[in-house]
Amino acid sequence: MKEVILIKLGEVVLKGLNRRSFEDVLLRNIRRRITPLGGFDVREIQSTVYVTPHDGADIADAEEKIAKVFGIAAYSRACETQKEIHAICESAANYLHKELLGAKTFKVECKRSDKKFPLNSPQICTEVGAYLLERFPNLKVDVNEPEYTVRVEVRDFAAYVHGNSLRGAGGIPVGTGGKAAILISGGIDSPVAAWMMARRGVELTAVHFASPPYTSERAEQKVADLLRSVGEYAGRMTMFTVPFAKVQEEIMAKCPEELFTVIMRRFMMRAAEQIAERERCGALITGESLGQVASQTLQAIACTDEAAHMPVFRPLIGMDKVDIIALAHRIGTYDLSILPYEDCCTVFTPRHPRTRPALKFVLQAEEALDADALLEDCLSHVKITQIHPNR
């Protein structure tokens, strides 16, 4: 029995004259994810991608990887069979045997793109349904709310039988939406923000701020692990770790305590922007949500953005914490995010941060700092780590 994976394209099908370029990137991303699992043929015909394993290739692991490729609306493992009605009926009974034994009601759906096939779609459904009723006495037909749906696709070169399709990761293929730098901490929010922008086709570069000796190597490793988890969807990326303790010490020593957080965020923006420019990124990404903490008020965000010239994307800006946590659970980053390792944003927290800072006072406070020298020093000691998705 020959088994394949059928992939249905998502938003890509809505593209116009550049649709082919989106499809090419998607096929390349699929091949990159599953190649380590063995040999596969990957081809796209009539808005469906066919993934056919070579001998010895692990189709179960390939299915797991495909579930996390952006640009896919749905996918299913299917049995390829001859375009002959008796072969289709037998394949449905044999391939879906376990599922059909466990169901009480079912229906058959058919798509026939090969119009030369002698039976039309309703006739195919009737023939397959009758055959399955004879083979499985436990079944009854329910076309409205069946427990299980048998799907038959008659294509130009073969017929395919499968059960319910599984939901794909959605979005558009990574690499079609430009490149941006995500300011990544060890918290819950920024990995979710990274995932959301990758889902819109953005290729990610990561910038992490560490503050040794106030933060530990385990805190930095936690961030790398979070990026690997995000990388199961977003693919490979580079992580730039910026030593930030000296900058924070200078701000704390020379600036008003209530403005510490917003001035720190401004320095992060400047440093991340310089790295982003070197990496040919077109934007910065943060995990901020409006009003969640003192540095995420409208006034504080406006002061922060003034320090950067690039666009700053905040995909979580209108979400509440419950929604963000739910998404972190879904993408597999939550358990890592709550590991108790301090990040640089929490080790110098002011007692009473200014929630509505005025830019003119922030700029006045920064005059006490040699901003260019501080940035040059921390950026000259950046650590670079290549992040590969979890295997």
Residue 35 main-chain phi, psi, to 5 deg: -55, -40
Domain co-membership, 358 together with 377: yes
Q: Which of 169, 188, 217 is the last residue of a domain?
A: 169
Domain count along the chain: 2
Query: What tens-digit pLDDT sequence spans the chain (391 residues)?
Result: 799 999 999 888 888 888 999 999 999 999 999 988 888 999 998 789 999 999 888 899 999 999 999 999 999 999 999 999 999 999 999 999 999 999 999 999 999 999 999 999 999 999 999 999 999 999 999 999 999 999 999 998 899 999 989 999 999 999 999 999 999 988 999 999 999 999 999 999 999 999 988 888 899 999 999 999 999 999 999 999 999 999 999 999 999 999 999 999 999 999 999 999 999 999 999 999 998 887 789 999 999 999 999 999 999 999 999 999 999 999 999 999 998 877 766 767 777 788 889 999 999 999 999 999 999 999 999 999 999 986 5
| Contacting residues for 369 by C-beta, under 8 A, at least 6 apart | 250, 251, 254, 255
Measured distance CA(303)–CA(321) in Å, rounded = 23
Domain co-membership, 163 together with 183: no
Q: Which of 169, 201, 229 is the last residue of a domain?
A: 169
Question: Exposed, middle or buried by CB within 10 Å (0-12, 13-18, 19+), for 95?
Answer: buried
At 259, which CATH number?
A: 3.40.50.620
Measured distance CA(88)–CA(197) in Å, rounded = 42
| Contacting residues for 77 by C-beta, under 8 A, at least 6 apart | 3, 4, 5, 6, 59, 63, 162
Domain co-membership, 131 together with 87: yes
| Contacting residues for 195 by C-beta, under 8 A, at least 6 apart | 230, 233, 234, 327, 331, 333
Domain co-membership, 202 together with 250: yes
| Contacting residues for 91 by C-beta, under 8 A, at least 6 apart | 1, 79, 81, 159, 161
Q: Residue 60 is part of which domain span?
A: 2-169
Residue 185 falls within a domain, yes or no?
A: yes
The count of other CB atoms within 10 Å of the CB of residue 225 is 17
Domain co-membership, 300 together with 363: yes
Residue 137 falls within a domain, yes or no?
A: yes
Measured distance CA(220)–CA(121) in Å, rounded = 57
Residue 174 falls within a domain, yes or no?
A: no
Domain co-membership, 90 together with 156: yes
**Please, are residues 248 and 264 in contact by the beta-carbon 8 Å criterion?**
yes
Measured distance CA(30)–CA(52) in Å, rounded = 12
